[in-house]
Amino acid sequence: MTKILYEQGYILAYKFDKDEKGHPSIKIALKWDPATKTNAIKDLKRVSRPGLRRYASVSDMPRVLNGLGIAIVSTSKGIMTDAKARQENVGGEVLCYIY
C-alpha cells in the first residue's frame, strides 16, 4: 500500500526500518503544501473490515470522488488501485478509499 501511495503522489518518501528491538517498521514522510499548510491526503477511509469484507467486481469497481481519489483493491494479481484493476479486468476486496 505504501508503494501505491508513493506512486500516486500522496506521500513524499518512505523507508523500511527496524526499531531498537529489531521489529520491522515503515517510516513515511507525508506530502503537504507549505503555502496552505494542508496535507496531500485529505481523508483515508477503511472500507473492508475483518467483520465485514467488501468485494467488487470489475463492473462494480468504486470511483472515489468521481475519479479524483483512489480506491486500493486487493486482487488475485496483487494490491493495486481501482483504475489499474479496471485496466487488468480483475475484481477483488476493496481495502480503502483515499482522497
Q: Measured between alpha carbons, how far is 88 from 4 in angstroms, rounded to an integer?
A: 16
Backbone angles phi, psi at 9, to 5 degrees: 90, 20
Is residue 46 within 8 Å of residue 67, measured between CB atoms?
Answer: no
- What is this structure's pTM? 0.85
**Interatomic CA distance for residues 12 and 7, integer angstroms:** 10
**5-48 pLDDT, tens per residue?**
999 999 999 999 998 899 999 999 999 888 888 888 999 999 99
73 bridge partner residues: 80, 94
| Residue range 46-75, pLDDT digits in tens | 999 999 999 999 999 999 998 899 999 999
Q: What are phi and psi of 52, to 5 degrees?
A: -150, 95
The predicted pLDDT at position 76 comes to 95
Residue ranges and CATH numbers for the domains of the chain are 1-40 (no CATH), 42-98 (3.30.1490.10)
